[in-house]
């Protein structure tokens, strides 16, 4: 089994936020002294970090499911829960992270590129942890003084990502199968790749670390590079991508091959053609040098064979005419390896400086546009990356049109639904308040929704379905000015009880005007009685028929 893995699918999940607490403070002689429930702790996040200490993605093939720590629940006495620990996952430098696409249970394929960890220490948060729920102490305000509920913690983000290792080598060894690339890696470093005398012995890149004086660099052989590789022949594009990040391309040419129609110059031209075809399809990262502009060197291998030595001496002038450095070596006798090692070290140092210079120039040339300062919030559509205030309402139906529903999407509505404990009537009423204030109910009316229609907030496994009831739309703590009897209950949801139905705005307005008219009528009557002298002198019996008079019992009192 190979110990080098350069592409793997990983399922990552951020930690869930802890639930808030709905505690009530209790003191001597004060059994209900106010809410004191603490907030839940936030969940941890899953973070990929590039490091030089990793050179393969093998660990993620055996353990593809990774999850961060969950936040803990809030406690009484306004004690907040602890935050879940972040999960830091080390990956090799040069790892590219893609969104995983494909149906559930099927192999995934790369989608949108999410991150490119090109330098040591680069980080990418693949799955954010969920926020902790607020306790009832944080939910209390001037009108909601003793909430009988708390918010639930949000679930952590969960998704599949594909990790792809482009390359972690400074020098890429390219050549036909059995040209001696793996043998060269083994001879110049401490790597122990599999070596055999048949084509396609190497099915995965072999990496080696070379020390030349004080210089340290890495080399890797690129297997399967044959004519037609850019079109998928042989191992195809599976390993051509490892050339994308290498700084130097070294052609390893077999001068002792016995295959017909093979000679050093023909091998070089055939492989250069494949590299050019692949370069046209390549999107280079910031500051990278295009493949045609990268320096080449020619390594004529197997000169320990007399015929190969003669052929190497014969073709060397042809390569030198192309402006390339030529090295004659033997991986068997180690002839020429020392000179090759120091020459590659010098080229690697020059190319690293050139790449750093290009990256700095690209960064300086980039135009950074900052938004102007705005006094208020500007609403943007959700598909434009708008803020959390945005939402959409769409009418949807199944394939045969027998069932329809209204789907509500948006950052805030979906988060609020996940935070709601639907076993608590007061919490449900609080959710209705928030949705109405945001404008969801007004938008449902504009879309043609009627009471009793099905409404879904969110999509997929986290969607919440309910029948729309627009009458639930007011504060949960105070209903018509009266304090609720039981904590956690909401009379708006107790329709069988008198007064349980929420009055509409028109009914409230009419009753208010009736009350104010009645008060005005009473004030007018009292003013008229005072003007007539009524009640001016308590010793005067104004109403002889008043049985409750202090001076008699009606007419007979005379």
What mean pLDDT do residues 26-47 have? Answer: 85
Q: Is 225 annotated as a binding residue?
A: no
Confidence of residue 543 (pLDDT cuts 50, 70, 90): low
Q: How sure is the predictor about 440, in pLDDT bands with cuts at 50, 70 and 90?
A: confident
Q: What is the 3-state secondary structure (H, E, C) of 359-375?
A: HHHHHHHCCCCCCCCCC
Domain tally for the chain? 3
Structure confidence at residue 557 (pLDDT): 44
- Alpha carbon distance 253, 299 (integer Å): 6
pLDDT, tens digit, 9 for 90 and up, residues 329-347:
888 888 888 888 898 888 8
**Is residue 25 part of an annotated ligand binding site?**
no
100 shares its domain with 32: yes
Where do runs of H (alpha helix) occur along 218-285?
A: 264-280
d(CA 19, CA 22): 10
- Domain end call among 346, 363, 380: 363
pLDDT band for 550, please (50, 70, 90 cuts).
low
Is 98 a known ligand-binding residue? no
Q: Read off the pLDDT of each residue in 470-477 and give the average, rounded to a whole number.
A: 52
Q: Flag whether 485 is in a domain.
A: no
Q: Is the per-residue pLDDT at 540 higher than 50?
A: yes
In this structure, what is the dihedral angle of CA atoms 107, 110, 112, 115, given to the nearest 10 degrees? 120
In CATH, what number is assigned to the domain containing residue 59? Answer: 2.70.210.12
d(CA 169, CA 186): 15
- Nearest in space to 243 (alpha carbons), one of 265, 224, 267, 215: 224
pLDDT at 18: 93
- Based on the fold, state whether residues 183 and 322 are members of the same structural domain: yes
Residue 493 lies in a domain: no
pLDDT at position 152: 92
332 is in an annotated binding site: yes
Residues 178 and 137 in one domain: no
Domain boundary among 478, 505, 534: 478
pLDDT confidence bin for 304, thresholds 50/70/90: confident
Residue 304 annotated in ligand binding: yes
What pLDDT is attached to residue 459? Answer: 74
User: And the tokens for 109?
Assistant: 């394929």
Helix (H/G/I), strand (E/B), else coil: 377: coil
Q: Is 183 annotated as a binding residue?
A: no
DSSP class of 405: E
Instruction: Tell me the C-alpha distance between 281 and 473, whole Å.
Output: 57
- Residue environment code for 194-219, b if the CB has 16+ CB neighbours within 10 A, otherwise e: ebeeeeeebebbbbbbbebeeeebbb
Same domain as 324, residue 290? yes
Confidence band, pLDDT 50/70/90 cuts, at residue 488: low
Is 431 assigned a ligand-binding role in the annotation? Answer: no
To the nearest whole percent, how much of the chain has pLDDT over 90?
A: 16
CB within 8 Å of 118: residues ≥ 6 apart = 50, 93, 94, 245, 285
pLDDT at 3 exceeding the cut of 80:
no
Query: Is residue 175 a known part of a binding site?
Result: yes
Q: How far apart are CA 288 and CA 12, in angstroms?
A: 30
Query: How confident is residue 484, by pLDDT bands cut at 50, 70 and 90?
Result: very low
CATH, residue 323: 3.40.50.300
pLDDT-wise least confident of 11-20, 84-93, 374-383: 374-383
Asked whether residue 45 is marked as a ligand-binding residue, the answer is no
56 belongs to an annotated ligand binding site: no
Alpha-carbon distance 558 to 551, whole Å?
9
User: Is 453 labelled as part of a ligand binding site?
Assistant: no
- Annotated binding residue 201: yes
pLDDT band, very low/low/confident/very high, at 71 (cuts 50, 70, 90): very high
Query: Which residue has better confidence, 436 or 290?
Result: 436
Statement to judge: residues 354 and 221 lie in one domain: yes
| Domain contains 195 | yes
Residue 264 covered by a domain: yes
CB 441 within 8 Å of CB 434? no
Once rounded to an integer, what is the mean pLDDT over residues 429-446?
86
Residue 138: is its pLDDT beyond 70? yes
Whether 218 and 207 have beta carbons less than 8 Å apart is answered as yes
549 annotated among ligand-binding-site residues:
no
- Beta-carbon contacts of 54 under 8 Å, excluding residues fewer than 6 positions away, are 90, 91, 92
Tell me what the pLDDT averaged over the chain comes to.
77
Q: Does residue 351 carry a pLDDT above 80?
A: yes
Which of residues 450 and 194 earns the better pLDDT score?
450
Residues 6+ apart with CB under 8 A from 140: 34, 35, 146, 147
112 SS3 class: strand
Listed range (4-18, 145-159, 487-501) with the worst mean pLDDT = 487-501
Sheet bearing 123-127, strands edge to edge: 87-92, 46-51, 123-127
Residue 531 lies in a domain: no
To the question of whether residue 306 is assigned a binding role by annotation, the answer is no
| 479 φ, ψ (degrees, to nearest 5) | -125, 115
Residue with tokens 């139905």: 501
- Structural domain boundaries enclosing 458: 391-478
202 labelled ligand-binding: yes
Q: Would you say 302 is a known binding-site residue? A: yes
The reply to whether 8 sits in an annotated binding site is no
Q: Is 64 annotated as a binding residue?
A: no
* Other residues' Cβ atoms within 10 Å of the Cβ of residue 434: 16
SS3 113: strand
Q: Which CATH number characterizes residue 403's domain?
A: 3.30.300.350
Q: Report if residue 276 sits inside a domain.
A: yes
| Residue 40 confidence (pLDDT) | 94
Among 133, 165, 197, the domain boundary falls at 165
Q: Do residue 18 and residue 158 come from a single domain? A: yes
Lowest mean pLDDT among 102-116, 175-189, 218-232, 490-504: 490-504
Q: Is pLDDT at 405 greater than 90 in this prediction?
A: no
Indicate whether 202 and 97 sit together in one domain: no
What pLDDT score was predicted for residue 30?
A: 67
Same domain, 35 and 105: yes
Is 280 labeled as ligand-binding?
no
DSSP 445-457: HHTT--TT-EEEE
Confidence at residue 282, expressed as pLDDT on a 0 to 100 scale: 61
Indicate if 39 and 125 belong to the same structural domain.
Answer: yes
C-alpha 230/C-alpha 22 separation (Å) is: 63
Note if the pTM is more than 0.75: no
Integer CA distances (angstroms), 205 to 123, 131, 300, in order: 25, 42, 21
220-265, pLDDT tens digit by residue?
787 656 555 445 444 444 556 667 767 788 888 888 877 777 788 8
For the stretch 92-111, pLDDT in tens is 888 889 999 888 778 888 88
Assess contact for 175 and 267: CB atoms under 8 A: yes
Q: Is residue 502 situated within a structural domain?
A: no
Looking at the fold, whether 402 and 309 belong to one and the same domain comes out as: no
Residue 303 annotated as binding site: yes
Distance CA 180, CA 251 (A): 11
**Distance of alpha carbon 273 from alpha carbon 269, whole angstroms:** 6
Residues 345 and 296 in one domain: yes
Work out the angle at residue 526's Cα, subtended by the Cα atoms of residues 524 and 531, and round it to the nearest 5 degrees: 95
Clarify whether residues 153 and 190 are in a common domain. no
* 54 annotated ligand binder: no
pLDDT for the residue numbered 208: 76
Distance CA 94, CA 242 (A): 10
288 is in an annotated binding site: no
Q: Residue 379: what pLDDT?
A: 38
| In-domain check, residue 421 | yes
């Amino acid at each position: 089994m190979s110990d080098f893995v350069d592409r793997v699918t990983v399922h990552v999940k951020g930690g869930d936020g802890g639930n808030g607490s709905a505690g009530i403070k209790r003191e001597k002689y004060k059994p209900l002294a106010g809410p004191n429930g603490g907030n839940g702790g936030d969940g941890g996040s899953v973070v990929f970090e590039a490091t030089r200490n990793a050179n393969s993605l093998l660990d993620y093939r055996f353990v593809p499911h990774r999850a961060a720590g969950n936040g803990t629940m809030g406690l009484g006495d306004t004690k907040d829960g602890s935050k879940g620990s972040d999960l830091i996952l080390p990956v090799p430098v040069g790892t590219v992270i893609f969104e995983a696409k494909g149906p559930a249970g099927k192999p995934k394929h790369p989608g949108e590129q999410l991150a490119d960890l090109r330098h040591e220490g680069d980080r990418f948060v693949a799955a954010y942890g969920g926020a902790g729920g607020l306790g009832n102490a944080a939910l209390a305000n001037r009108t909601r003084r003793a909430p009988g509920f708390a918010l639930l913690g949000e679930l952590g983000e969960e998704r599949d990502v594909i990790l792809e290792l482009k390359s972690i080598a400074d020098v890429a060894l390219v050549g036909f199968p059995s040209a001696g690339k793996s043998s060269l890696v083994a001879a110049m470093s401490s790597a122990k790749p599999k070596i055999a005398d048949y084509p396609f012995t190497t099915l995965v890149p072999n990496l080696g670390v070379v020390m030349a004086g004080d210089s340290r660099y890495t080399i890797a052989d690129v297997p399967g590079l044959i004519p037609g590789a850019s079109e998928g022949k042989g191992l195809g594009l599976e390993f051509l991508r490892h050339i994308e990040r290498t700084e130097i391309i070294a052609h390893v040419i077999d001068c002792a091959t016995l295959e017909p129609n093979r000679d050093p110059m023909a091998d070089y031209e055939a492989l250069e053609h494949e590299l050019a075809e692949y370069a046209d399809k390549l999107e280079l990262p910031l500051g990278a040098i295009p493949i045609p502009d990268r320096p080449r060197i020619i390594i004529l291998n197997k000169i320990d064979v007399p015929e190969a030595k003669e052929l190497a001496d014969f073709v060397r002038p042809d390569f030198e005419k192309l402006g390339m450095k030529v090295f004659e070596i033997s991986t068997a006798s180690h002839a020429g390896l020392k000179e090759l090692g120091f020459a590659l070290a010098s080229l690697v140092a020059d190319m690293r400086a050139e790449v750093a210079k290009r990256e700095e120039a690209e960064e300086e040339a980039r135009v950074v546009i900052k938004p102007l300062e705005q006094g208020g919030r500007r609403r943007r559509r959700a598909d434009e990356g708008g803020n959390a205030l945005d939402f959409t309402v769409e009418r949807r139906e199944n394939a045969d049109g027998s069932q329809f529903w209204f789907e509500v999407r948006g950052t805030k509505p979906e988060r609020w639904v996940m935070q709601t404990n639907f076993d608590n009537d007061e919490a449900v009423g609080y959710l209705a308040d928030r949705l109405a204030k945001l404008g969801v109910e007004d938008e449902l009316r504009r879309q043609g929704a009627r009471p009793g229609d099905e409404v879904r907030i969110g999509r997929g496994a986290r969607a919440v379905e309910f029948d729309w009831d627009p009458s639930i739309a007011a504060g949960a703590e105070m209903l018509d000015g009266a304090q609720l009897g039981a904590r956690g209950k909401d009379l708006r949801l107790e329709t069988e009880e008198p007064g349980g139905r929420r009055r509409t705005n028109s009914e409230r307005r009419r009753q208010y005007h009736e009350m104010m008219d009645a008060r005005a009528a009473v004030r007018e009557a009292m003013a008229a009685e005072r003007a007539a002298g009524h009640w001016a002198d308590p010793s005067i019996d104004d109403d002889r028929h008043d049985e409750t008079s202090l001076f008699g019992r009606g007419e007979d009192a005379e």
